[in-house]
Amino acid sequence: MAEMNVTIDSDARSVLVAVKGRASLTECIAMVEKLTSSAEFDPSYRVLGDVREIDFAPSVKEAQALSRLFQAKRERYANGLGVLVGSPLIYGLTRMINLFSGQDAELISPFLDEAEAFAWLAAGAD
């Protein structure tokens, strides 16, 4: 079972979600639903998911399901959704999820570099 830790920084207008451990598609969907329905969550905040320590590599069907979920929740990520990944494979899968959304604009911004990801998150406060 995966563990999710959420840090909401209202001054920085950002949310950091760190996910660790083995996860299923059902758990990933539940985590997104929990975060986006939280009273503390402001859709104008920039969100960075740190999934470097998650044990989950979605199949094509699961990637399509995640893409539909993020597309449906798009208004809840109005200022951007970043994903800090731990490998080129998960980076590519994150790009695939973004492409499945069928949007010209980036729905999800994947990062391999921690400094780049946190700079992106901090830029959301501007």
Domain boundaries, the chain: 3-123
Residue with tokens 């994150």: 94
Average pLDDT, the chain: 85
Q: How does pLDDT run across 76-116, given as a tens digit for each residue? A: 877 778 899 999 998 998 888 888 776 655 778 899 999 99
| CATH homologous superfamily for the domain 3-123 | STAS domain (3.30.750.24)
pTM: 0.84
| Confidence (pLDDT) at 112 | 95
Helix residue ranges per DSSP H, 1-126: 25-37, 60-72, 88-100, 114-123
For the chain, the 3-state helix, strand and coil shares in percent, each to the nearest 5, are 40, 25, 30
- Within its chain, how far is the Cα of 123 from the centroid? 16
C-alpha to C-alpha distance for 107 and 7, rounded to whole angstroms: 21
